Amino acid sequence: MHGGMRRGRRAGFMAIVLIAGLVAGASVFSPLSVEGLQAPAEEPVTVGVRVVAPFVILQEDGSYSGLTVELWEHLADELGLETHFEERELDALFTGLEDGSLFASASALTITSEREERVDFSHPFFVTGLGIAVQHRPAGLWQAALSLVSLDFLWVTSLLMGLLLFWGLLVWIFERAENQEEFGGTPVEGIGSGFWWAAVTMTTVGYGDKSPRSLGGRVVGFVWMFTAIIVISFFTASIASSLTVTQLDSRVSGPQDLPHVSVGGLANSAALEYLAAENIRTTSYPTLNEGLAAVAAGELDAFVHDAPILRYLTREDFRGEVRVLPGTFVEQYYGIALPLGSEWRSQINRVLLDRLASEEWERAQRRYFGEDR
């Protein structure tokens, strides 16, 4: 009897060892590889895209290229994912993740707190900011004429006249007694002669019809000749700057002007959310091209969107019609959107960070943007 019990216990122990061995063997062939990566998906995964050059570009043969597309293709290769791209509207990129019809969404998607409530995002792969597109107004005869009556131009010329009057008055004080022939007459006539002398001296014309003869007058003339070299350079630069600013004026010089002009934005975009939060009345447009076309036609004073996208589109499709103001405001972070709780997120982030630190990523950015980011 005891032998039967021993044999029973021995058989039970062997069964436990056999089950443990089977479990250990199964773990070797489990969905996790030795590197901790999930096994490649058995079927192609569907990734939502939205054409936003230069991040997603639709080619003539129906395929997609662009900075984000290249990034995703690298991630897919590293993770063993076969990808099928499906073009969708902006909001559908998020609803597709919520209803399970999309594996991921990869475009130029800004990470916002509102979107984080609906989906998960990868680490940011691109940092930029909002930009402002305005109508390009090339300089012409009418713009040049308007510049002559601008406040900046009038202020600069008034200051110049005042300076000439000061030195003309100063030389007249010294010359009125000893040089009646050239600076004599009534005070108005004498000061007028001094003004004329200061002007021709500053411009180095030097007609020679009037010149100081007294010691004090010649000291004034000596100081003014050297001072005038600096003054004429300063006023030339100031007047040129005034003319240029007037010719390029579009009523918008930065975000501080947006509440006072007509503004457009892309429907459902992060830029539109920002404008609404700032209580800036905005007209929404279904596409960027329609919004920029409205700016080119003078229907809008400004169109607000992500700066690198605006610069790319204006350079490619609206050259000479629309320009983007220098600088950015309100930082934007682009990420790849995934379903909430996606088991692929950590793996995508690991491969993503490796890619962002590579020279290939730097070359890809230069290829699409050059130095214009």
Q: Range(s) for CATH 3.40.190.10 in the chain?
A: 37-125+335-369, 261-332
Rg for the chain (alpha carbons), in Å?
Answer: 36
Hey, what CATH topology would domain 37-125+335-369 get?
D-Maltodextrin-Binding Protein; domain 2 (3.40.190)
| 297 three-class SS | coil
Please tell me the total number of residues recorded for the chain in this structure.
Answer: 373
Cα(174)–Cα(162) distance, integer angstroms: 19
Please provide the CATH number assigned to the domain covering 261-332: 3.40.190.10
pLDDT at 133: 96
Contact 221, 212 (CB under 8 A): yes
Whose tokens are 């379903």? That residue is: 339
Cα(78)–Cα(246) distance, integer angstroms: 54
Establish whether the linkage from the previous residue to 44 is cis, with ω within 30° of 0.
no
Cα(208)–Cα(371) distance, integer angstroms: 54
- 183 burial (CB, 10 Å; 0-12 / 13-18 / 19+) is buried
Q: Which residues of the chain have pLDDT under 70?
A: 1-42, 138-152, 205-208, 239-250, 371-373
Whose tokens are 């009523």? That residue is: 251
pLDDT digits (tens, 9 = 90+) for 259-292: 999 999 999 899 999 999 999 999 999 999 999 9
Cα(132)–Cα(324) distance, integer angstroms: 6
Q: Range(s) for CATH 1.10.287.70 in the chain?
A: 142-248
Backbone torsions φ then ψ of 131, nearest 5 degrees: -125, 170
Contact 134, 318 (CB under 8 A): no
pLDDT at 147: 54
The tokens of 332 are what? 């934007």
Residue 309: count other Cβ atoms within 10 Å of its Cβ: 22
| The CATH number, out of the four listed (1.10.1740.10, 3.30.300.30, 3.20.20.140, 1.10.287.70), of the domain defined by the range 142-248 | 1.10.287.70
- 31 burial (CB, 10 Å; 0-12 / 13-18 / 19+) is exposed
